[in-house]
Amino acid sequence: MSQLDIVEPAMKAYKVVWAERQYLLRLAMVPMLIKFICLSLLTLYGWEAEFLKGVLIMLPSYFAEGWLLSHLIRLIYYGHRWPFRPTGDMDADMVTLAHRARGVMAGTLTYVLTRYLVDGFVGAMQAAAIQAQEQVTDVPPEPSFGSIFLAIMMFSGMLWAFRLLWLYLPAALNRSMKLFLSDINRFIMSLYMIGIWLMSIVPVILVFHIISGIVFGPEAEQINAAQIMIFNMLRTVGDTAIWMLSTAAMSYGLLTFLSEKHRT
């Protein structure tokens, strides 16, 4: 069994994204434009707090982002690039093209479904938290054993369910998602995946906060329309970078581990 290393996959992710920066930037231009438009609509109509409308508005960007990430996975694992370049052997090219199209479509649809469910769940939790905060009294009630136990169970369930976010990885490779889940059914795999995810995204988040602090300054209440548009652009670039890096890191860490497991 492979050693569960969280540093090496993150390092490989940064290396491949940097090495393929020109190709990935060309691939990400349209998805980032779609994401920027969707975010601008959210802020324009003030729908950030309305999670159902927000998820529906962001749906086109989920499709574009899933298409981008599916191509990134196939680049890392198979060396496939977009657009497809035929070799001249029509029969072989048709088989390869069908395999690639099926993988990209499956990866995109799986990514859209998981993002839709996750964003909807997060939005519902935020709405419940806001409602609970509005109903709080001056003397908060002491937590009962039942509420503490329920909170622990929910937290454990969310840790276990973290692996479900990455079902688009085997889907993009035309692999069995059922086999994928059976291979990572141990609880430690969720912790391993969370470690890889954090190692790949924390540097980007830090850079994003530093740039945001420089652009907006300490007086956040005086943000104007131009600054909001700049923030949406930064968020678009930052979110895209986070998803590409985390997907690449998970591809190197998790899928490489699984392939080695199947060979033994």
pLDDT digits (tens, 9 = 90+) for 181-216: 888 877 788 888 899 999 999 999 998 888 877 776
User: How far is the C-alpha of 53 from the C-alpha of 67, rounded, in Å?
Assistant: 22
Helix/strand/coil (H/E/C) assignment for every residue in 85-135: CCCCCHHHHHHHHHHHHHHHHHHHHHHHHHHHHHHHHHHHHHHHHHHHHHC
pLDDT of residue 17: 94
pLDDT at 263: 40
Q: Which residues are CB-neighbours of 187 under 8 A, at least 6 positions away? A: 159, 160
Query: pLDDT, tens digit, for every residue of 224-263?
Result: 677 778 888 988 999 999 999 999 999 998 876 665 454 4
Q: Is the separation of the CB atoms in 121 and 114 below 8 Å? A: no
Q: What is the pLDDT of residue 82?
A: 86
Residue 262 has a pLDDT of 46
pLDDT at position 164: 86
> Residues of the chain whose pLDDT is less than 70?
1-3, 47-52, 122-147, 149-150, 216-224, 256-264
Domain range list for the chain: 7-263
Identify the pLDDT of residue 242: 94
